[in-house]
Structure 1
Amino acid sequence: MSDDGESPCAVPLSSTTLPSMLPTTPANSSSSYVSGKPSNEVQKMPNRLANEKSLYLRQHADNPVDWYPWTAEAFQRARQEDKPIFLSIGYSACHWCHVMERESFSDPEVARLLNEHFICVKVDREERPDIDTFYMDVCQAMTGHGGWPLTIIMTPEKLPFFAGTYFPKTDRFGHPGLMTLLREIAQLWHSQREDLLAYAQRVVNFLRHHRQPAANITSEELLKHAYEQLYRQWDPQHGGFGNAPKFPMVPQLLFLLRWWYRTGDPQALRMVDHTLLSMRLGGIYDHIGFGFHRYATDERWRIPHFEKMLSDQALLMLAYAEAFQIQRNPLWAQTVREIFQYCQRELFSPEGTFYTSEDADSAGEEGAFYLWTDAELRQLLSPPEHDFLRFAFGVEPQGNIPGRIHNHLFQTAPWDVLGEHFGMDPLELQQHWTAIRTKLLAYRQRRVPPQRDEKVLTDWNGLMLVALSVAARSLGEESFLISAQRLATRFLDQWRNHGHLFHRYADGEWAIPGMLNDYAFLLWGLLELYTTAMEPALLEVALSIAHQLRSRFWDDSRGGFCLTAPEETELPLRYRDDTDGAIPAASAVACSCFLRLSRMTGDTLWQTWAEEAFTSLPETLRHAPMAFTSWLVAYDMALGPVTEVCLLSPQPTPRFHELRTVVHRHFLPRTILLGAASEKATALFRCLAPAYANYPLESDAVAYVCTAGTCYPPVRTPTALIELLPIRSATEETPSSETS
């Protein structure tokens, strides 16, 4: 929650809270340093944000606030004028960022206070995830919560002493507004400077030491502990974990699938299945235009915050694709296709990459693009169609959103249940809905659309590369593979042209040095694409990126992966973050990739580096493992047993495709598929993976299978191969490890 009781664009997890030591003064205190005289006259400052590539920064270009982007110039001026920094972090699709911009940053009175007593800096969290991660942890440590817009006040040396999220302009519901806070802090900067500086240093020291290496994963018990925590948090009625707001939390779902695969515990699979179904039926899913909104504001997944993020689409595609490998539920495959259809229609760029997001707001109102009055629907639809929509998608005459007259569509029951109610075959009923949906989509497309943020992020596109590659295997559809190959080509061109990765592409410019997320997620995507396409050139570039990742981001002094390279010194400390949020921890993804590379190449150095990463984890892992589920996914691979399937063929013959498909269509999280499908590719593969150099290339495809150090005679038929694969059926039942 924000400081006035409103809900900002929330974050899914909170870290340990640092008790606040910030001195406080009465809200009505006055000071010779702070003018209390209201004024609407603000001198127009030079517009430093107008030419920024970030849409979010440009959205503030006309503010009367004298904004700087994050530049050395801003901090130098703060030192020269002896002023604290007012740092505001957000992103273009965030509804509450827009609210604060309209209420406060466009207001002359607020701008006068800010310009007189602070140096103001704006940051796009998607452009600078390193800055956002550090100061979000500051906010969570100080207040116990976080969200966007993120508000930080700090010294010119970037040491924070105040943190919050959204603030209204004036006091509300007993909580101070921004004007009150600015006056108080401006006074304290002069009257109690030493207290503020001491507290700021304490905050940074806390963040420096609370992530010190202390936990070494040593047994399967930690995996079980994480599962038990998730089970206790699971909502058996509505799916998901905890109370509202509810995030998809894909990293936790991916872990649960692997716990089911390891143990056969049907409850773990039920938790995932129920959550995926609840989200797919709920209003967090856009039933008309497809794709998922950011998160649900209610426990039933019905009313979302309406922004749509590329990262969410990619991760949810991945979750549904993996679940489809297990259960072959047609709805899961349909969901994968529909998410991708949305991404192609609304987020696809001419260069073959994907844009970042679509805004929550349009026409100045949150969700306006997606909502319907009952009168609109009656005008568009026939009476039987309207009656169907009322029952099947929750439409109410007075609206189904508290405090508004609008409706947001959510599916009230699965198709088989609805079919019984309407006396129709479920497939026939879906066709009936498709005709209605087509009408509504055509009408909706005439509305003012949400603004699209057209920057291209390497890390989020890396996640989409993962999703496309896994979807191609799971669904067996070449369209996903073609899109994945096109996407990979764009980023590999960048890699080859520059010798390193950049984080952001916008208006023809690659900029911002690549961070850990960029390297780790693109590496993950390349390994998944290699597993799908079996082209050793992908493994070759993946190895190069992995080596650069290790050299740029490994912390030689403390161990573990840092968010930025050593030469990037823009924060008070070189920071690391090993916890999952809405996206997986990049450090854990890097560790998983190293484990896979060790198996793929036979080079045990990758295994050694992964083991060193495990020993660098913080003590928090022991009592809150559900915040580290991506690390536990990596550890699941490390625990084994691991199966390697080396598939070699002199050309991509029908037998090669049949053998590859056997592996692709099953959920095998601890099976490494590698090899090549031509004589030239096999030669490169043998150079990259000398451990497999002695496997002979025959006249047609052959599979060599090893599990836990035991290798079997080569196999040449799908039937023989499937007998050697560690396939677990969703119908298998083992004693559940449910925790009451």
Structure 2
Amino acid sequence: LLFLMRIYETEKIPEALEMVEKTLKAMADGGIFDHIGGGFSRYSTDQKWLVPHFEKMLYDNALLILAYLEAFQLTKNSFYAEVAKRTANYILSELTDLEGGFYCGQDADSDGVEGKYYVFTPDEILKILGEKDGMKFCEEYDITEQGNFEGKSIPNRIGKNSPPWDIDDLRLKRLREYRKLRTQLHLDDKILLSWNAWTIVALAKLGLVLDDSQYTNAAIKAQSFICKKMTDEKNRLFLRYCDGEIAHLGQLDDYAVYALALIALYGSTFETSYLKEAVLRAKQMIDLFEDKENGGYYLTAHDAEPLITRPKETYDGAIPSGNSVAEIVLEELASLAGEIVFRKAADRQHRFMAGQIKEYPAAYCYSLVAMTKSIYSHKELICTGTELPKELLAYYREHPAHDLSSLFKSAENERKLSEVAPFTKSYPISENTVWYLCENGNCHVPQTDFRKLNLI
């Protein structure tokens, strides 16, 4: 879906966006989406998205937030933003540790019965909401006497034209409270670094696009959790945290997705510390995992316990592969940090992944997303001034802006930014906000009016 949206952005092929919208709308209307508590189940067992395998996974929901959020930016249809919000709210309410990390997910069954926690009968709905509101809910959410799943009903909106009930509707709150009286679903309370990093990416972007600090703050808190709880005295990342203990040295996915999360946090806050940490983790990734002879990145670090064969995963499954994420991280940092080490590493990774993609392109969609950043025109924007301009944040709220990398330089962050992106030393700071736009190596005349940049 993310690749199709990138194709729509770059090639203006309307069919690409039509496929995305049809899929996202069908998923959000179906029983795979929890219309009462938010969030998506792992997968559907039918073609209508009606009957899911009721297990909810953190990574699925994080990636779907990104898909719905980008669809909202492209179409301006608030329906997609609402689904993204409901999904994020599910993560914050059900999968968030008190210290800020995110749990793996929730099981599908309770009392030994799959889906029991989620299904209803008309009598239950009428008892909870009263006759008028109960009948309305049953009609709009397909709660029937015969049921649609083993004699009971999975709430869904397949074929309905009326708008879904508002996320803050007190009637939905009553249904959520009623559900909590049921036997609770088992919580997989492991905290995995790469899955947490995907969630940070999603929440950071959601907070930016919707201008809602609760999501940005949750992303910041989760990143702080990783720093404090999943990093050792040698500054190495660890794969898992559970019951106060870390286990297993971090693998490629942990470093690559965490670097992507730090880039997302920088893009949402323009706090230089996140960019500095992203550069550090990306350099560690290159040192620890790159196959210097054959290209690509191994799953395990050079100093990890030796295996019979050292795996190198390249295809994108339920989660984008570490190699695909590494590709996009290196491309991003080549623009943001301006260091030749990232430009060369990105080019090496593009060449390696291109060789893999030839065999079966559909298995490498996230790598193809990364390649669009190098194939199509890309812009770098440096903004100097005394405070972060609202125009810059507003632009990123309105547009996915995958073709634009932006830095903000002020007297306050000048020294730290020059350490991370040395090329910024040559950009002076004045009382007025000044915009410096470069495209494909050519820089335009500096502007003091954002509108004159003609970014669209």
TM range (shorter): over 0.9
Q: Does 1:286 align with 2:34?
A: yes
Q: Give 1:623 deviation, angstroms.
A: 4.2
Q: Give 1:435 deviation, angstroms.
A: 4.0
| Equivalent in the alignment of 1:411 | 157
Deviates more, 1:436-445 or 1:625-634: 436-445
Q: Which runs of 5+ in 2 are unaligned?
A: none
| Equivalent in the alignment of 2:366 | 630
* Alignment RMSD (CA, Å): 2.0
Q: Deviation digits for residues 218-237 of structure 1, max 9, x if unmatched?
A: xxxxxxxxxxxxxxxxxxxx
Q: Deviation digits for residues 229-249 of structure 1, max 9, x if unmatched?
A: xxxxxxxxxxxxxxxxxxxxx
| Equivalent in the alignment of 2:5 | 257
Tell me how far apart the structure 2 counterparts of residues 266 and 389 of structure 1 sit (CA, whole Å).
Answer: 35
Tell me how far apart the structure 1 counterparts of residues 167 and 69 of structure 2 sit (CA, whole Å).
Answer: 26
Within 5 Å, which residues of 2 pair with 1:160-559?
253-401=1-149, 404-413=150-159, 417-418=161-162, 426=163, 430=165, 434-493=169-228, 494-495=230-231, 497-559=233-295
Q: If the length of structure 1 is used for normalisation, what is the TM-score?
A: 0.59
Tell me how far apart the structure 1 counterparts of residues 398 and 7 of structure 2 sit (CA, whole Å).
Answer: 19
Deviates more, 1:704-713 or 1:284-293: 704-713
Tell me how far apart the structure 1 counterparts of residues 68 and 216 of structure 2 sit (CA, whole Å).
Answer: 17
Question: Does the 8 A contact of 1:601 with 1:690 survive in 2?
Answer: yes
| Equivalent in the alignment of 1:675 | 408
| Equivalent in the alignment of 1:648 | 384
The residue identity in structure 2 corresponding to 1:397 is E
Q: Which runs of 5+ in 1 are unaligned?
A: 1-252, 419-425, 728-740
Q: Give 1:579 deviation, angstroms.
A: 0.7
Q: Give 1:491 deviation, angstroms.
A: 1.6
Q: Deviation digits for residues 464-490 of structure 1, max 9, x if unmatched?
A: 111011112221222222222222122
Tell me how far apart the structure 2 counterparts of residues 394 and 571 of structure 1 sit (CA, whole Å).
Answer: 52
Tell me how far apart the structure 2 counterparts of residues 527 and 355 of structure 1 sit (CA, whole Å).
Answer: 22
Q: Give 1:571 deviation, angstroms.
A: 3.5
Distance 1:591 1:432, change over 3 A: closer
| Equivalent in the alignment of 1:51 | none
The residue identity in structure 2 corresponding to 1:406 is K
Within 5 Å, which residues of 2 pair with 1:120-131?
none
Within 5 Å, which residues of 2 pair with 1:110-125?
none
Tell me how far apart the structure 1 counterparts of residues 360 and 143 of structure 2 sit (CA, whole Å).
Answer: 40
Q: Does 1:587 align with 2:323?
A: yes
Give the match's secondary structure for 1:704.
strand
Tell me how far apart the structure 2 counterparts of residues 439 and 522 of structure 1 sit (CA, whole Å).
Answer: 38
Tell me how far apart the structure 1 counterparts of residues 50 and 107 of structure 2 sit (CA, whole Å).
Answer: 19
Task: Name the larger-Rg structure.
Answer: 1
Tell me how far apart the structure 2 counterparts of residues 548 and 302 of structure 1 sit (CA, whole Å).
Answer: 44
| Equivalent in the alignment of 1:120 | none
Tell me how far apart the structure 1 counterparts of residues 445 and 226 of structure 2 sit (CA, whole Å).
Answer: 39
Tell me how far apart the structure 2 counterparts of residues 602 and 387 of structure 1 sit (CA, whole Å).
Answer: 60
Give the match's secondary structure for 2:413.
helix
Question: Does the 8 A contact of 1:465 with 1:488 survive in 2?
Answer: yes
| Equivalent in the alignment of 1:702 | 434
| Equivalent in the alignment of 1:562 | 298
Distance 1:375 1:570, change over 3 A: farther
Q: Deviation digits for residues 635-677 of structure 1, max 9, x if unmatched?
A: 111112101111222334xxx123332234312112111223x
Distance 1:610 1:535, change over 3 A: same
Tell me how far apart the structure 1 counterparts of residues 432 and 80 of structure 2 sit (CA, whole Å).
Answer: 35
| Equivalent in the alignment of 1:146 | none
Question: Does the 8 A contact of 2:55 with 2:106 survive in 1?
Answer: yes
Distance 1:489 1:700, change over 3 A: farther
| Equivalent in the alignment of 1:613 | 349
The residue identity in structure 2 corresponding to 1:392 is E
Tell me how far apart the structure 1 counterparts of residues 20 and 66 of structure 2 sit (CA, whole Å).
Answer: 13
Aligned length in residues: 455
Tell me how far apart the structure 2 counterparts of residues 446 and 563 of structure 1 sit (CA, whole Å).
Answer: 43
Tell me how far apart the structure 2 counterparts of residues 538 and 592 of structure 1 sit (CA, whole Å).
Answer: 17
Tell me how far apart the structure 2 counterparts of residues 463 and 294 of structure 1 sit (CA, whole Å).
Answer: 16
Q: Does 1:691 align with 2:439?
A: no
